[in-house]
């Protein structure tokens, strides 16, 4: 018998797997490549919502816990995937500069926003009003993280590469059985695949499609993440990730011409050098209508749990949410009411025992 079956190998699933392993627990991860959003994500971690100059919910807690968590994984699997890099917000007007300074005066944002306007001249980028620098930022190369971690799991025989069949779960007096494999708990970290999960599909997962481009631009000498209507993220070798779109209607992970054109239109407003498209990605982010994650335990089966709804900030949320769920299961530490799925059950009129 293992302690945890973990269904899903995106950011949420990997973070819970590592959390359990750090605590000496045994695991089996089910991976079938059915959810692509983690793999194609920009992977940025940024404590500030730059559209409104406001703090990301619990940003300091997420970074204080998450960055050492990723550093420990890097050491463990001998892979480099966490890169610290400044984010520059391009100002479009004097008014935006003033809004930036007003935000930087707020106690919860002071440590994240530099109060020095940066006037750097970048080849192919015009910025009459300069840039504001966001501090404590960077990106996780999610493909390197997920591929390297899955290789580590595979070496230890802790992964099954197969589609999980919900109908094969048998509930035992203690724990569950799945195709002869017994476990104390199941963690569903299945991203947008939640819509097919009979245990949790009534939860308000919305799903937002995002598209990104990988471009090659030898004349774009950019050494920071540039943020305006889109972001431009340098990833080395004259390559840049450009994203992202937001589509609330299309729930497929297929790249579209409309998405590509939207990104190109915004990109051409930011840069004036030649570039070529190397790749075009798409994925459906597991977003939630109330913009809070879905974490907790099934209202009937107390050994079935969910870690989902990380939305557009999975890299920041993954480590701390995995720890919160683990502590709730193993140490009876209550979940924050804002992330606990009990809030959804109450709205759905589902009666809870506790």
pLDDT at 353: 63
Largest CA distance in the chain: 68
Residue 341: CB partners within 8 Å, gap ≥ 6?
200, 203, 294, 295, 296, 297, 306
Q: Check the CA dihedral 240-235-150-202 and report its sign.
A: negative
pLDDT at 33: 66
**Considering the domain 86-136+208-285, what is its CATH architecture?**
2-Layer Sandwich (3.30)
Give the pLDDT confidence of 78-87 residue by residue, as tens digits: 999 999 999 9
Instruction: Identify whether the C-beta of residue 29 lies closer than 8 Å to the C-beta of residue 41.
Output: no
Exposed, middle or buried by CB within 10 Å (0-12, 13-18, 19+), for 34?
A: middle
Give the pLDDT confidence of 100-112 residue by residue, as tens digits: 999 999 999 999 9
Distance of CA 135 to the CA centre of its chain: 19
pLDDT at 123: 84
Give the pLDDT confidence of 261-305 residue by residue, as tens digits: 999 999 999 999 999 999 999 999 999 988 899 999 999 999 999
**Selection from 288, 280, 120 nearest residue 208 by Cα:** 288
Give the pLDDT confidence of 40-96 residue by residue, as tens digits: 788 999 999 998 889 999 999 999 999 999 999 999 999 999 999 999 999 999 999
pLDDT at 116 over 80: yes
pLDDT at 242: 97
pLDDT at 34 over 80: no
**Selection from 143, 266, 282 nearest residue 211 by Cα:** 282
The structural domains of the chain, with segments of one domain joined by +, span 2-41+143-203+289-347, 86-136+208-285
pLDDT at 129: 95
Pairing of strands 2-7, 27-30: parallel
231 phi and psi angles, rounded to 5 deg: -115, 150
pLDDT at 354 over 60: no
Decide yes or no: CATH 3.50.50.60 for domain 2-41+143-203+289-347: yes
What is the value of pTM for the model shown? 0.95
Distance between CA atoms of residues 233 and 231, nearest Å = 6
Q: Tokens 């459906």 appear where?
A: 284
Q: Tokens 């940003």 appear where?
A: 59
Give the pLDDT confidence of 183-228 residue by residue, as tens digits: 999 999 999 999 999 999 999 999 999 999 999 999 998 999 999 9
Give the pLDDT confidence of 162-185 residue by residue, as tens digits: 999 999 999 998 999 999 899 999
Exposed, middle or buried by CB within 10 Å (0-12, 13-18, 19+), for 207?
A: buried
Residue 7 pairs in a beta bridge with 30, 188
Instruction: Identify whether the C-beta of residue 267 lies closer than 8 Å to the C-beta of residue 256.
Output: no
């Amino acid at each position: 018998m293992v302690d945890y079956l973990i269904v899903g190998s995106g950011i949420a699933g990997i973070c819970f797997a590592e959390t359990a392993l750090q605590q000496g627990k045994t695991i089996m991860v089910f991976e079938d490549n059915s959810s692509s959003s983690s793999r194609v994500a920009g992977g940025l971690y940024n404590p500030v919502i730059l559209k409104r100059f406001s703090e990301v919910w619990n940003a300091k807690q997420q970074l204080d816990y998450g960055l050492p968590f990723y550093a420990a994984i890097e050491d463990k699997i001998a892979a480099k995937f966490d890169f610290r890099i400044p984010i520059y917000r391009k100002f479009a007007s004097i008014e935006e500069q003033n809004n930036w300074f007003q935000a930087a005066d707020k106690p919860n944002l002071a440590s994240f926003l530099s109060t020095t306007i940066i006037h750097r001249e970048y080849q192919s980028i015009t910025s009459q009003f300069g840039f504001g620098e966001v501090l404590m930022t960077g990106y996780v190369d999610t493909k390197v993280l997920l591929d390297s971690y899955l290789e580590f799991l595979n070496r230890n025989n802790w992964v099954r590469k197969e589609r999980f069949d919900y109908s094969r779960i048998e509930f035992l007096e203690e724990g569950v059985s799945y195709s002869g494999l017994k476990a104390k708990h199941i963690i569903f970290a299945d991203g947008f695949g939640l819509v097919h999960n009979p245990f949790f599909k009534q939860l308000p997962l919305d799903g937002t499609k995002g598209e990104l481009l990988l471009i090659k631009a030898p004349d774009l000498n950019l050494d920071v993440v540039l943020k305006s209507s889109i972001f431009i993220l340098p990833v080395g070798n004259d390559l840049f990730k450009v994203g992202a779109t937001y589509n609330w209607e299309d729930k497929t992970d297929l790249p579209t011409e409309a998405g590509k054109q939207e990104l190109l239109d915004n990109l051409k407003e930011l840069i004036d050098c030649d570039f070529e498209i190397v790749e075009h990605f798409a994925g459906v982010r597991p977003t939630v209508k109330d913009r809070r994650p879905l974490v907790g335990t099934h209202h009937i089966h107390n050994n079935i749990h969910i870690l989902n709804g990380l939305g557009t900030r999975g890299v920041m949320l993954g480590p701390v949410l995995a720890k919160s769920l683990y502590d709730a299961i193993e140490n009876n530490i209550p979940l924050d009411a804002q992330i606990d799925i009990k809030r959804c059950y109450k709205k759905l009129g589902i009666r809870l025992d506790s």
